[in-house]
Amino acid sequence: MYQVSDNISKRFANLVALPQVQQALAFVEHDQERCIAQQCELVQIEAPTGQEGKRAAAFVDMLRACGIRDAKIDPAGNVVAIRHGKGNGPKVLVEGHLDTVFPLGSVHGVEKRDGFLCAPGIGDDTRALAMLLSLLRAMDAAGIETCGDIYFVGTTREEGMGSLGGMKDFLTEHTDIDVSISVDNHNMAGIVYQATIGETWEISFSGVGGHAFTDFGKIAQPLHAAARAVAKIADITVPSTPRTSFCVSNFHGGNDAGIHAIASEATIKINFRSDGEAEFAAVKKAIFEAIDAACAEETARWGKNTVVCSKHMVGSIPGGTQDCHAPLVEAAWLGLQYLGVEPELAASGCTNANVAIAKGIPAICIGRAYAPDDAAKITYTHSLDERYPVEGAYKAVQQTLLILLMAAGMDTVEPIVR
């Protein structure tokens, strides 16, 4: 049974006893229609990773309309709006990512069907952007003044090859952020507080190459070396706890013009991840040893020339662990219970929270949807059929508000500090 500490319980009780907080929570519920409308507006401004400019410009305008006059786009393309506090508290970041995994031309309006909004990217993570706007309106309407400054940020390059790039740039630029809240989960019931570490590498095997018949036996074959490496990697064993994975996701060598040639080069791409730092180091070592051994074996098989390999990292997701009783996690737990949602500790993830957690900043990733039944839990995220459940969606905004205020502190509520 998960037990929240007395300290955090007391602070939470103080928070929800404040009339401004009750007023802000009520505002959020009544703001649902406007929030959904902005979600639908933003999703139609397409923003594939690396092409977030148009959506960023629209989002800046919306933030300005919410009273943050100096909202801006920073050199990394991130949208940054600061809501100043009294100046005696921590700096709190709350963010959603601007980019989606869909190429331009994928979104053709928003369809409303069976209680869902349907459009590619409607949830992930367009919903989070709309939530930030609703939060700002609610805090202003209720006259909420926090101790610390709150940074409302739309980040770029979270997805795919972006590898959390916008968040990395933001936290490099803002080394004084004390607490980080990412809104990038579907179901608000899940509290993600650990960060899976991951890397993606491209490995090239190269040699001289030659004729498939006349050069056979005279030279080592790079493509065969690559295949040996994949076979060895396929046999690596990893623990199930902490969850650790590896996947050769791409294998390429040769071409149709050279079907009777010993290809001079072959490449593989491999992704590996772990929730544990030691386990991550171990799987990485095993993979690299397998690759080196494969080159050596293929070379030794023919003894005539050498297959060499070059290793090049193409993506890196930092990670780390946090205590499940970190104040932020406990605050999220209490928030959910208060809103009548059964909390779940969803231990790990690969989101922008990883970047903060890896830097030792208290951070969590929380959900953007209210999903009380099985149907509402199914979202088809990252597919063209992506959908978002509308009923009760405001509850996810309320939850974000409660965590945000616990983190930034106000009146009788001591803030969470680093």
The residues of the shown chain that bind Zn ion, judged by CB under 5 A, are: 124-125, 184
Q: Which is nearer to Zn ion, 40 or 405 (CB)?
A: 40
Residue 260 CB, shortest distance to Zn ion, in Å, is: 46
User: Can the peptide bond before residue 125 be classed as cis, meaning omega within 30 degrees of 0?
Assistant: yes
Residue 97 CB, shortest distance to Zn ion, in Å, is: 6
Cα–Cα distance, 78 to 52 (Å, whole number): 9
HSE-up (13 A, CA, CB side) for residue 45:
16
Q: Which is nearer to Zn ion, 132 or 263 (CB)?
A: 132
Residue 101 CB, shortest distance to Zn ion, in Å, is: 8
Q: Which is nearer to Zn ion, 52 or 124 (CB)?
A: 124
Q: How far is CA 389 from CA 181, 269, 322, 378, in A?
A: 22, 36, 31, 9
Q: Which is nearer to Zn ion, 125 or 330 (CB)?
A: 125
Q: Which is nearer to Zn ion, 118 or 236 (CB)?
A: 118
Residue 124 CB, shortest distance to Zn ion, in Å, is: 4
Q: How far is CA 58 from CA 94, 111, 167, 184, 305, in A?
A: 19, 21, 20, 20, 58
Residue 53 CB, shortest distance to Zn ion, in Å, is: 19
User: Can the peptide bond before residue 75 be classed as cis, meaning omega within 30 degrees of 0?
Assistant: no
Q: Is 164 left (phi over 0), alpha (psi -120 to 50) or beta?
A: left
Q: Which is nearer to Zn ion, 124 or 298 (CB)?
A: 124
Residue 134 CB, shortest distance to Zn ion, in Å, is: 19
Considering only CA atoms, which of 2, 5, 1, 8 is closest in space to residue 331?
8
Q: Which is nearer to Zn ion, 184 or 298 (CB)?
A: 184
Residue 125 CB, shortest distance to Zn ion, in Å, is: 4
Strands 265-274 and 150-155, by their bridges, are unpaired
Residue 258 CB, shortest distance to Zn ion, in Å, is: 41
Cα–Cα distance, 244 to 240 (Å, whole number): 6
Strands 261-262 and 197-206, by their bridges, are unpaired
Q: Which is nearer to Zn ion, 31 or 124 (CB)?
A: 124
Considering only CA atoms, which of 246, 252, 240 is closest in space to residue 270?
246
Cα–Cα distance, 308 to 266 (Å, whole number): 11
Largest CA distance in the chain: 86
Residue 127 CB, shortest distance to Zn ion, in Å, is: 10
Q: Which is nearer to Zn ion, 99 or 178 (CB)?
A: 99
